[in-house]
Amino acid sequence: MLTNSYDQAEFGDPKDGAQLNEVEPPRAIFKDTKTGRFLEGNGGRPKGALSKSTIAKQIIMDAAPELVRQAIELAKGNASMMSTLLAIALPTNRSQLEPVAIPGIEHCSSLEDKTNAIMNAVTNGIISPDVGLQMVSGLEKSEQAHRLRLLSEQVADLQRKVLDGRSLVKRIN
C-alpha cells in the first residue's frame, strides 16, 4: 500500500481494482486565497513527498507483469497488436559509440574533403549513416569554433590598433 506523506492519500492494491481517484484526501489551506502565495512557514510540498503522477506510475509498474501477460493473450492472432507489442518491448538499437576509422581522412585538410571522405565511408558501408551524420555534425561544430577563434583574434588585433592609433594621436598633439 502506497502512502503519500504530503496529502495522506492512500491507494489500494491495483489488483483489487483500486483507482487513483477513489480516495480524495482532505485538503488544508496552504496558500493565501487572495495572492495565491504560500502562507508563512509553509514552503510547499515536503521533500520526499510523492506526487499523484508518481504514485500512479508506481501502481502501473507494480501491475506491469500482469498487464503484459494480458496484452500478449489479447494479441494472439492479431498481427497488428503483436507488432505494436514487439515495437514497445524491443526498441530499435541505437548506434554504439565505437571508434571509427575513415580511410584517407587523415590526409584531408579542408572541411569539404573530410566531409567527402565520411560520405564515401557511408556509401561503401564502412560506417552507418547515423554515425556519418554525427561525424559531419562534429566537423561543422569544430569548423565553427575555429572560425570564432579567428574572428576573436582579429577583433583583438583591431582593438590594439585602435588603441595604438589613439596613443599616437595623443603624442603628436
pTM of the model: 0.40
41 is written with which cell numbers? 512557514
pLDDT score recorded for residue 71: 82
pLDDT score recorded for residue 95: 55
pLDDT score recorded for residue 10: 45
pLDDT score recorded for residue 91: 66
Output the DSSP codes for 73-124: HHHTT-HHHHHHHHHHHSPPPPPP------TTGGG--SHHHHHHHHHHHHHT
pLDDT score recorded for residue 82: 80
Q: Which mean pLDDT values do the consecutive 10-residue runs of the chain (173 residues) have?
A: 42 50 55 79 75 88 84 83 77 67 86 90 88 90 94 93 76 65
